[in-house]
Structure 1
């Protein structure tokens, strides 16, 4: 971790203030997205410094790019965060652009833009910017962004349904996949034994088991298991992730008589993530609330056939059916048939996955920043 030093000599070039919920030392898709943004912007020759200020962070070992100041002095709470932002804004060097990594930070980004007279961009990810986030306050601040950067068309459309920002001020930058971190490999024997998967055909889902986020398709897949087991008695549904909704999902599996065939992994270490995907014959995320669905990319990068949803941004992760199947989560027959079809597919990494490479993401992010600065 690094902290800002106001005594340092001013860098030659453009400076960006980056406000984020989390990035390095964070967990989940938004933290990963923010890290990818930081590292993509760090490759822009015109940028001399990126000052990134997170709301939350845990200790981390990741190498932060040299031109990035990742100031964690604001993680102690809201006041500490505001004080850290204000300290950087008082800096005589100023900022040429502001990148807001979450809609909840839009009021601070707007104030920072007013203070510095710099243009600002707002990144939106999923349900954080869908209609349930609508309020007069949210509309006021979000509508004043000079550029809205969305991870998917679905998220942008739903955001614009309550915050009618000019489409000319919007751009879509799909999330990236770190292809080098994945790849095809045999199942890890210790994980097969740990989860009782020897000679089993595995359908996998990966995500937070949050009682406030019951939109990932876990319920639909558990409900599909009795019918699927009649056709494939060797089937196991592996649910990877942690959260407070675990007891309810376990009770549902028990009530449906499939508790022995639904396995919950609990928390997964980052180092084990790729090997968890490699346990699967099918990856399914038939939900209603994914802004994009980075886990689908990760599964496909391990060669696992993937199933997304027609009801959320996960359909864009499988490129509307080009590199994976799309199902309506409300159609149980369609979901069952998609799983049975995917089981028969040979494992392979789809060539179309390169569309989401980190290199492609970086070009789009740097293009968005150039557009912002030139505005």
Structure 2
């Protein structure tokens, strides 16, 4: 990075909302900060935040980055503020590159950057770009200097739906913090709390929303009768909340397995690692853009099962470190669970599983990848 370089990032928000996109963006910003802190001539960096306010909890405050908070009431004023502030900034500073943090900002970024001759990169995450987008957003993608996304699957869906050349898309994957998600003994207090003592435990962490049936919790419940034929001591711990809970509870009741399913409700992020340690297997036959939860489980030494036609191919390294099965096939899920619980496969060896995961998806690997892209 040369002394004259400056970079501009534009996001919807980072700190005022929680979710997969926000968590991913935070990891990218942390990796970027680590790069510029190591630079002898750190670039000037500006980050524009449409929906964050100055009083938000920003753990990334540093003299190396200028944060511009633009949240207003009513929201349309914030959008106007962003447009005027960003245009003024681009004209005055002429950054080396602009990084657009969401597809909903892409049209504005293109409109400003192209006439000024400023290259821009668009960051994408998952299903927000999997379907055909409005022509203006497609044009912004097609004219971008580059596009970043989290997995090969997301790249392929993005390109197919929106006529994008795959050569312009780079993979900047999700990661797991190995110092946060670590192996450990099963916490006795959680075994007692959920009635799991002496049980073999399969687990899922997912939103239980009716719009997210693809997470596959219902499929795993349907797999339980076959699993219990061979492993009658299995219990299924489901962590998450949402409006689909009544349907899932009724399904477990109808299948006669309600006493084997424990709905734990919402668990804060800081308590998740203890819950992963409870599990003997992490089961989520889903359709993910990536699936950070698989990384979290494997970093804790827990073997995993995913769907076989989605972005989980990346964290599971095409099946090298986990089981991939047809995501709506209860029979296949049951068979995979039974194989995991037998524990004979290398993919069940916790130390190897953790090392193989962190080798590919640690904060350090993200920093290296980001350095190569910038």
Query: Against the structure 1 CA distance between its residues 63 and 171, is the aligned structure 2 distance closer, same or farther, given a 3 Å change threshold?
Result: closer
Tell me the CA shift for residue 190 of structure 1.
Answer: 2.5
Q: Deviations over 1:146-178 (max 9, x none)?
A: 111111111111111122222332111221111
Q: Give RMSD over aligned pairs.
A: 2.3
1:360 paired residue number = 365
Tell me the CA shift for residue 305 of structure 1.
Answer: 0.3
1:48 paired residue number = 44
TM-score by structure 1 length?
0.87
1:37 equivalent to 2:28? Answer yes
Contact map agreement 1:22 1:34 (CA 8 A) in 2: no
Give SS of 2:170's match: strand
1:6 paired residue number = none
Tell me the CA shift for residue 98 of structure 1.
Answer: 1.4
Query: Against the structure 1 CA distance between its residues 82 and 242, is the aligned structure 2 distance closer, same or farther, given a 3 Å change threshold?
Result: farther
Higher helix share: 2
Tell me the CA shift for residue 114 of structure 1.
Answer: 3.4
Query: Against the structure 1 CA distance between its residues 162 and 178, is the aligned structure 2 distance closer, same or farther, given a 3 Å change threshold?
Result: same
2:262 paired residue number = 263
2:135 paired residue number = 136
1:71 paired residue number = 68
Tell me the CA shift for residue 221 of structure 1.
Answer: 0.7
Does 300-309 or 13-22 show the bigger shift? 13-22
Superposition map of 1:1-375 within 5 A = 13-42=4-33, 43-44=35-36, 45=39, 46-55=42-51, 59-60=56-57, 62-74=59-71, 76=73, 77-91=75-89, 92-114=92-114, 116-131=116-131, 133-288=132-287, 290-345=288-343, 346-349=348-351, 350=353, 351-353=355-357, 354-369=359-374
Instruction: State how far apart, in whole Å, the 2-side matches of 1:362 and 1:54 are.
Output: 25
Tell me the CA shift for residue 180 of structure 1.
Answer: 1.1
Tell me the CA shift for residue 250 of structure 1.
Answer: 2.1
Contact map agreement 1:23 1:54 (CA 8 A) in 2: no
Q: Deviations over 1:82-102 (max 9, x none)?
A: 413532431333432111222
Q: Deviations over 1:104-130 (max 9, x none)?
A: 222232234236532111122221111
Query: Against the structure 1 CA distance between its residues 291 and 187, is the aligned structure 2 distance closer, same or farther, given a 3 Å change threshold?
Result: same
Instruction: State how far apart, in whole Å, the 2-side matches of 1:284 and 1:261 are.
Output: 15
Aligned length: 357
Q: Deviations over 1:9-54 (max 9, x none)?
A: xx96433222223323542321111011112222233422231415
Give SS of 2:78's match: helix
Contact map agreement 2:185 2:277 (CA 8 A) in 1: yes
Query: Against the structure 1 CA distance between its residues 264 and 361, is the aligned structure 2 distance closer, same or farther, given a 3 Å change threshold?
Result: same
Give SS of 2:148's match: strand
Tell me the CA shift for residue 362 of structure 1.
Answer: 1.2
Instruction: State how far apart, in whole Å, the 1-side matches of 2:140 and 2:162 are.
Output: 10
Instruction: State how far apart, in whole Å, the 2-side matches of 1:174 and 1:19 are.
Output: 19
Contact map agreement 1:39 1:65 (CA 8 A) in 2: no
Does 238-247 or 198-207 show the bigger shift? 238-247
Q: Deviations over 1:35-83 (max 9, x none)?
A: 1111222223342223141535894363434423343332653531441
Q: Which runs of 5+ in 1 are unaligned?
A: 1-10, 370-375
Q: Which runs of 5+ in 2 are unaligned?
A: none
TM-score by structure 2 length?
0.87
Instruction: State how far apart, in whole Å, the 2-side matches of 1:257 and 1:16 are.
Output: 58
Q: Deviations over 1:333-374 (max 9, x none)?
A: 2211111111232551423211111111111122222xxxxx
Give SS of 1:138's match: helix
